[in-house]
Structure 1
Amino acid sequence: MSSSTSSYIDYPTFTSPTFSPTAYANSLVLSTNNPTDTPLDLSTPLSRVLFDVQEVDTHIDTLTTKHALPIIQHTQSRSQASARVLESVEEQVRSLEESYKRLEREVVERHDAAEQVRVAAERMLRTLRLGRGVQRAVQLGRQLEGQMEEVGREGPVRVEGARGMVPAANTLLGLRGLFAANGKGEEGEGLERVKVVGTLRAEVVSPAETGLMQRAQQVVREFSMSSLLASGQGQQGGQTFAQTEDTKMRTTRALQTLYLLSPTKASTTVETFEPTLLISALQSYLQTALTSSLAALSRALATLPTLERTLLEISARCQNIVALETLLDTVKPPPHPLLLSSDPRDTTANDDSNFLTPLLRHLDTSSLPSYFWRSMAGQLSSRVQEILNRGGVSARTLRTNRDRVREAIRECVDRGSRLPASSLSNGKKADQKVGNWEREAAVMVQSVVGPLQR
């Protein structure tokens, strides 16, 4: 702006980016007044400001009037340009709307229809898979019923019944795996919501599993290979080859059944699997033999005339344990369909190639006869001490016949450490002794004779 137009107005001050109205007003007041005057005269600076404003307004009016036509033309050109831009944008918007409608017709509507078809197909597939699962469960249930009828046979066809135990256990494992399938897309998904499957589990599967488990445990409890009691004083006589094979086969099937029916988890592998039902049944067998032998021997030591017969019974029980150990050493674990295969590089996995290894590991012993004799010896000393503490004829008779009792116990351990049947010995000779029987005899003798020498 030229200085000839209005040289008395300080345009640079008003147009400066750092212009402050308060600072400018303060400078006007100070330039027209003495700061010490009371009161201050504000009329002069106010008039100056009003005059400047009026002058600026007049100057704007003059410039607007002088350049009206260029301003109107510029405004008109801006308006026309805006109209052209708006028209172009509206045309693009209409094109975009048409494209969206076409996309909606060709994609969105078809996608909605396809989504309905997909949902219907997925539900049909789930229904089909559920129907197959129910069919599979019912089929296995019928198969299990037939197998349990075969297992329940008694009398001359007990062997055939025992042969059906392992297949029945595998069928139960198939049902167990089917019922445990909770993953999406698996055959057993949603089976728990089907009423017929619930009835099948309650009325067929659970009773069959309980009955099969009890039958296998009964076979293990009834295991007996010794013929000492049947043949008299130590003369091995008794069982025929067919009877021996029958006992071996039934016991083997029962052991395999208990192995298969032992509970598992989803993450259990072959190497980490612990056959709890099998170990429990075998431990119960050993505990029964141990408890019966200990009670009988305690009574016999108090009444010596019955000692010979009692020791014969104990020898027979130990021979059965020797036979059981030999059988367990030959029976290998059957394939388990619910167990996972672990990493072959895992060197910490269990290597149980037979049923004897996990039992010995659980009992923390090197052999079952040694466990039997040492467990009984550990509890026998207190029983002998009770007899001595009661005194009377029993205590005096026991002390008097100390040497006879010693020899009878050694002979008992000697008889009990022999294999009762050649068919169980894997090529060993019948009547062959197993283990360090003299060491076990010394332990047993000391548990009885030791308190008598005090």
Structure 2
Amino acid sequence: MTNKKYLKDFEEYLADDFNAVRACSELIKASNVDPESSELDLVTSIKKVGYNIDEVDKRIESVIKANSLNLVDVFDNRKLAQEKSRESLSSSVEYLSMSYSRLEKDVLKPYEQCTQLQAALSKIHQTSSLLRDVLIFMHLVRQIAQNTISASEKEIPDQNLLILASIHSQIQMELSSNPSMRALRLVKKHELETVGPSRRETLRVLTETLLRYCGESSNPQEQHDTGRLLSALYKLSQKDFISTIDKVVQLRVNSSCQTLSKTITSIRNFPHALQEAIVQAHQLANVEDTLRMTPAENTNLLQEHSSHKKYASLTHIFWNRVAKSFKRDFEISYHRGGPVGKSLASNSKMIIDSIEEMIARESAKGRAELEQMRDSVSIIRVQTTK
């Protein structure tokens, strides 16, 4: 029997593109030719596959019987080849085994031990660093307790404020550099009970102190002291620093707007009220000088503040807001007429002359910003030129 005869009827199973699912589907289709039948015949297909398996077993047995001597020779040759290969490679395999054993002993195991030691050392180092940071944190907390601010204290020395602000800045840096500290119960407790309340109180007192005194003096030493407080506030909270400077400006804007607005019904007081507004502007100029002289990283505090604002100059912001507010109130009263409107019209020259006189007295920078007040009374300037 030739090889082709042994393989007859099984060519499909030996094809390169044989697909078991497709073959199974074709067997089932061949066994279920009745389209009207409601039952699926699987038994016939299974029997046919079983018959094919039995037939393959029979043909294998027949091939073995017909070629027994050849098969024995093949098996003997294979066994002999294995023995020869083993003999020829045994020395090499033994050498490789010895080399690997030596490699494992001298390199792999020491490396594994070193890796484990390195991991342990890293954890010890992390623990040591954490303990060191916790000790620093606790030392700073103790300093807070020694310099604590009482809400009942009316006057708090600037030095105490600077010390507390510095302590809280250091605590912020410690917690930022090692965030895992916050996972420790001890740190959580002190941050909640000591650090948090003290930081809020320090910010409050710093802000109130600056709102009270900022810009009131042009004395270099006092400006230097104010600059230190501003720098401390900036380091402690940039958000509160920006907010505090805005409040310093707005407090003076509100005061000047109220003073000028009151003169509308008593316009002869306008020159005095305008002079008071100029004093407020000069105080803001002092604040600007202090901010400009106080360093902040690679720049100064004035640039840090102006980077968040539309205008770089505090006095420009001041006169812009004051002029707009006064213009609105002035024009409403002027258009309303009555005794107030008539008084404004009859005193228009005095109002304009007062503004021009004040502008002439100011420095070049002050003149440029004070000129915004000219626009606030533009309505009577127009009426005067008619």
TM range (shorter): 0.5 to 0.7
Q: What pairs up with 1:116-127 in 2 under 5 angstroms? A: 118-127=118-127
Q: CA deviation at 1:196?
A: 0.9
Q: What pairs up with 1:41-52 in 2 under 5 angstroms? A: none
With the length of structure 2 as denominator, give the TM-score of the two structures.
0.64
Tell me how many residue pairs correspond in the alignment: 324
> Are 2:229 and 1:254 aligned?
yes
2:323 to 369, 374, 377: 377
**1:86/1:214 CA distance change after superposition, 3 Å:** same
Identity fraction in percent:
20
- Choose between structure 1 and 2 for higher RCO, CA contacts under 8 A separated by at least 6 residues: 1
> Aligned partners of 2:353 and 2:74: how far apart in 1?
136
Q: CA deviation at 1:210?
A: 2.4
Q: CA deviation at 1:150?
A: 11
Q: CA deviation at 1:189?
A: 5.6
Q: CA deviation at 1:259?
A: 2.4
**1:412/1:204 CA distance change after superposition, 3 Å:** farther
The aligned amino acid for 2:142 is R
> Are 2:353 and 1:407 aligned?
yes
> Are 2:309 and 1:313 aligned?
no
> Are 2:174 and 1:178 aligned?
yes
Q: CA deviation at 1:441?
A: 4.8
Relative to structure 2, which stretch is displaced further, 319-328 or 109-118? 109-118
For the aligned residue pairs, the C-alpha RMSD in angstroms reads 4.7
Question: 1:34-74 deviations in whole A, cap 9, x for unaligned?
Answer: xxxxxxxxxxxxxxxxxxxxxxxxxx99xx9xxxxxxx999
Q: CA deviation at 1:149?
A: 4.6
Whether the 8 Å CA contact 2:224–2:290 is kept in 1: the answer is no
**1:445/1:373 CA distance change after superposition, 3 Å:** same
> Are 2:196 and 1:206 aligned?
yes
**Which runs of 5 or more structure 2 residues have no equivalent in the other structure?**
7-66
**1:394/1:108 CA distance change after superposition, 3 Å:** same
Q: What pairs up with 1:80-159 in 2 under 5 angstroms? A: 118-149=118-149, 155=155
Question: Which residue is 1:191 aligned to?
Answer: 181
Relative to structure 2, which stretch is displaced further, 95-104 or 124-133? 95-104
Whether the 8 Å CA contact 1:137–1:178 is kept in 2: the answer is yes
**Which runs of 5 or more structure 1 residues have no equivalent in the other structure?**
1-13, 23-59, 65-71, 182-187, 227-238, 264-275, 336-350, 418-432
Question: Which residue is 1:37 aligned to?
Answer: none
Q: What pairs up with 1:394-433 in 2 under 5 angstroms? A: 394-411=340-357, 417=362, 433=363
**1:100/1:442 CA distance change after superposition, 3 Å:** closer
With the length of structure 1 as denominator, give the TM-score of the two structures.
0.56
Relative to structure 2, which stretch is displaced further, 88-97 or 279-288? 88-97
Question: Which residue is 1:450 aligned to?
Answer: 379
> Aligned partners of 2:344 and 2:154: how far apart in 1?
46
Question: Which residue is 1:280 aligned to?
Answer: 243
**1:108/1:375 CA distance change after superposition, 3 Å:** closer
Q: CA deviation at 1:257?
A: 1.6
> Aligned partners of 2:354 and 2:147: how far apart in 1?
49
Question: Which residue is 2:290 aligned to?
Answer: 327
Relative to structure 2, which stretch is displaced further, 80-89 or 199-208? 80-89
Whether the 8 Å CA contact 2:359–2:366 is kept in 1: the answer is no
Q: CA deviation at 1:444?
A: 1.5
> Aligned partners of 2:378 and 2:186: how far apart in 1?
66
Whether the 8 Å CA contact 2:141–2:190 is kept in 1: the answer is yes
Question: Which residue is 1:435 aligned to?
Answer: 365
Q: CA deviation at 1:379?
A: 3.2
The structure whose residues are more often helix, as a share, is: 2
Q: What pairs up with 1:6-85 in 2 under 5 angstroms? A: none
Whether the 8 Å CA contact 1:151–1:164 is kept in 2: the answer is no
Question: 1:65-88 deviations in whole A, cap 9, x for unaligned?
Answer: xxxxxxx99999997786676688
Whether the 8 Å CA contact 2:214–2:226 is kept in 1: the answer is no
Whether the 8 Å CA contact 1:414–1:441 is kept in 2: the answer is no
Whether the 8 Å CA contact 2:182–2:188 is kept in 1: the answer is yes
SS in 1 for 2:139: helix
Q: What pairs up with 1:235-274 in 2 under 5 angstroms? A: 244=219, 247-262=222-237
The aligned amino acid for 1:321 is L
SS in 1 for 2:213: coil
